Amino acid sequence: MKKFTGQFPQRRCQPCARHRGTGDRNCLRCVDDRDRSKASETEISDYFLERRKPKYGDQGVNKEVKKETKNRIRIISWILFVIYIGLLVYFLFLSEEYGRTSFDQRIYRYNLTPFQEIKRFWIYRHRVGFWVAFLNLAGNVIGFLPFGFFLPILSRRLRNGAVVTALGFGLSLLVESIQLVFKVGCFDVDDLILNTLGVLLGYLSFWICNGIRRMIYEKKI
């Protein structure tokens, strides 16, 4: 064993104000300089073990286990994200139940006035029915919520709110443009607003869940 030249707390100590009358061998302030050179190998080992304890307490969790858990979370998130994108493509472009008519019946439809369709569905919600109003208002928000939730999990580089919101807006703009060009829906500026709102709410949901998890485990994903 190499000769130790550092300074360690000893059993014999000159008590500081905090440990008056008793002294504390783990308190550097109340160590007598005359006894530091007499540290035994056992005391040196105990000292280093004490200093190496994690900041938030020794959870006894192996780093390899933590790393494996993180990888599993990301793999599961990728699988769910791919499934989500597949469902999004189906409902936005292929499902006739949600207004995707046959090709010969398709026409160019668009709305460039902000909040026009939102107001219309809200005012006539009793006439068009709750389900139709829900799909056109809340559905556009909920449909893009997973996008804002999964992106920060899939990559630590995508944990900036502005970046995630911009990507969500870009995706929504791409969807609306495809619907207009191929006549599989309506280019609606209100959809852009609601979709982007959904991405932002998904991003906020991620940070709320991550904050709760950090309170429990004191670690980041």
Asked whether the beta carbons of 196 and 165 are under 8 A apart, the reply is yes
Q: What is the pLDDT of residue 45?
A: 57
Q: What is the pLDDT of residue 214?
A: 80
Cβ neighbours for 153, distance < 8 A, ≥ 6 positions apart: 73, 74, 77, 206, 221
Query: Distances in Å between the alpha carbon of 57 and those of 26, 53, 156, 218, 219?
Result: 17, 7, 26, 10, 12
Q: What is the pLDDT of residue 149?
A: 95
Residue 123 lies in a domain: yes
Residues of the chain with pLDDT under 50: 1-4, 8-14, 23, 28-38, 55-60
The tally of domains found in the chain comes to 1
Residue 30 lies in a domain: no
Query: Distances in Å between the alpha carbon of 141 and those of 42, 104, 192?
Result: 63, 30, 10
Q: What is the pLDDT of residue 99?
A: 56
Residue 67 lies in a domain: no
Domain span including residue 132: 81-217
Residue 119 lies in a domain: yes
Residue 32 lies in a domain: no
Residue 181 lies in a domain: yes
Residue 122 lies in a domain: yes
From the list 72, 216, 86, the residue with the least C-alpha distance to 153 is 72
Residue 213 lies in a domain: yes
